[in-house]
Chains A and B, each alone.
Chain A
Amino acid sequence: MGAGHGFSCDQREPRVNTLPLAWWQIALAGTLVFLAGTVSVGLRLRLENDLVLATVRGTIQLALVGYVLAWIFEVNTPWVVISAMAIMVTAAAKAAIDRPSRTFRGAFLGSFVTLCISGVTIALLVSNIVVRVEPWYDPRYVLPLLGMILGNTLTGISLCLDSFLERLTVRAPEVELALSLGASPWEATRDALADSVRRGMIPIVNATMVVGLVSLPGMMTGQILAGADPVDAVKYQMVVMFMLLATTSLGCVGIAFYTFKKMFDERGRLRRERVFSAA
């Protein structure tokens, strides 16, 4: 999709040629899921229903998103792109707070604001200052970049939030001990907050450590499969790598500070009753 639609980015680089896939070829690849199903049945993992559901759901979601993206590229107006970004951030904010086993009132707002500040800002900065897309909202660049950012940042936010809420509940007596000996809320929770941010960043730091050695990142792989020059694909991947490190760290720090502010009252008391099970 996209070729011949007259997007401005088409003037900046030639479209690469891909081997087009017919639906029967996709169906053929889909039979691989039977392999997973066979393993599940053989080992009595009871994952067959989940596998079928995940496969059907994933296929429908991808098909829909393909058509939606084609429509957004076709319309190509700032409001449509901004709306798509808002939907993506909302879904990511929800997913980020759904995964931890504990939550608190206002967690969604914190996740949403954090993703807006870290994700949307950096996606727009990178696409406009580093990649220099024209116009500034070019959906062919902005939306995939934002998607990658949100996917990684929400994982970081989830892990960070899960860890921090655990420290503020299960290990609340340690925090209250520090408070009772004269620590400020910040002094009493600084180590827990730092540990939680570190935990949230482990996946992206690990992925960055082995990038190119163990794994070829999805975007780079996609570009190479689509026929792009590997050196060009690597350049884009470097930008993405820097971007993901920055947004994940900002996202983790943002949600940790927001949670910290929410968990203490104006008298500096730890309000652990504000945390409840997410189930």
Chain B
Amino acid sequence: MKRVKLMVDQLAITMDGRRLFAPLTFEVTMGERVALVGPSGVGKSTALRALADLVPFEGDVRLDPPVASRPSFRRTVTYVSQAPIMWSGTVETNLAQSFLYTSASEVFDRSRATSELSALGLDISLDRDAASLSGGEQQRVQLVRALLVNPCFLLLDEPTSALDEVSARRVTDRVEAFEGGVVLVSHDLAWARDMASRVINVSPA
């Protein structure tokens, strides 16, 4: 995995004329896990979406060294939402879809997908209809979906919110084993502090 740094400089978001949180400045290096903590409604999840360049923001979010395009940026800094989002179709459809957006050299690897699912406690057929999975299963499938694109940074929004204790432990282990950088948001402060190598307070503007 190439060495990249995620640099955030004076990140601020205004919504409906209201500044959400005090400007954030930090850097995330490969292998580092950073937790964004703060009061409910301060905009932690929105900040995470801004890091993936999915919502408008002020300030600067960039990679060092930079990447060529916005799609490449989002593939390098991959966002995983709190509410699972599944495309219609099978689990394989959901896992393989992202390979339609990249060069021909990157192809979907069924055995790796099965292995990643298994590591998260999901021994399910890739041919299963994704809509038939439970919320917790879908949450893990979407984490695997993000891992398969080989991002340098994972942006995880409440990654264990729909999981039981055993499944949450598996997710924690997998995220800890991830070689790239992680920025996460969780309502579970104890879990976030335990998981993260660094905690950043997101305070109201």
Contacts and interface: CB of A to CB of B under 8 A. Distances in A.
B80 to A, nearest CB: 8
A265 B56 contact: yes
A180 B54 contact: yes
- Of B52, B85, B97, B98, the most chain A CB neighbours within 10 A belong to B85
Interface residues of A, number: 18
A178 interface: yes
Contacts of A174: 85, 87
Interface in A241-257: none
B71 A183 contact: yes
Contacts of B72: 182
B100 A267 contact: no
B53 A267 contact: yes
**Interface band, chain B:** 20 to 34
Interface string A175-189: 011111111100100
A271 B53 CA distance: 12
Contact of A181 (B55, B56, B146): B146
A235 interface: no
A230 interface: no
Contacts of A271: 56
Main secondary structure on chain B at its contact with chain A?
A: mixed
Contact of A187 (B53, B79, B87, B101): B101
Interface of B: 52-56, 70-72, 74-75, 78-81, 83, 85, 87, 97-98, 100-102, 145-146, 149
Interface of A: 173-174, 176-184, 187, 265, 267-271
9 contacts: A174-B87, A179-B71, A179-B74, A180-B80, A181-B78, A181-B149, A182-B149, A183-B98, A267-B53
Given A176-B54, A178-B101, 18 more contacts: A177-B81, A177-B87, A178-B98, A179-B74, A180-B78, A180-B80, A181-B97, A181-B101, A181-B149, A182-B71, A182-B102, A182-B149, A187-B100, A265-B56, A267-B53, A267-B70, A269-B53, A269-B54
